[in-house]
Amino acid sequence: RALPAMMQWVRTQKPGESGINIVTADFVELGDFISTVIKLNYVFEEGEANT
């Protein structure tokens, strides 16, 4: 029930000092939670490359 809202929130997060660093859940097999969290790492890497 809360998964769509949580997934939307996760997708809008930014990694790093003023962002989010850890996301945990007890339902990681549902939806695309794992791939969404992994994609945050690519956002971080892109930010590092641009600095």
pLDDT, tens only, 15-34: 767 776 677 777 666 667 77
CB-CB contact of 37 with 23 (8 Å): yes
Q: What total number of domains does the chain contain?
A: 1
Q: What are the residues whose beta carbons fall under 8 Å from the beta carbon of 11, sequence distance 6 or more?
A: 36
State the pLDDT at residue 24: 73
Mean pLDDT of 38-48: 72
The gap between the terminal CA atoms of the chain, to the nearest Å, is 39
**Structural domain that includes position 12:** 3-49
State the pLDDT at residue 8: 86
Helix (H, G, I), strand (E, B) or coil at 5: helix
For residues 11 and 47, the model is more confident at 11
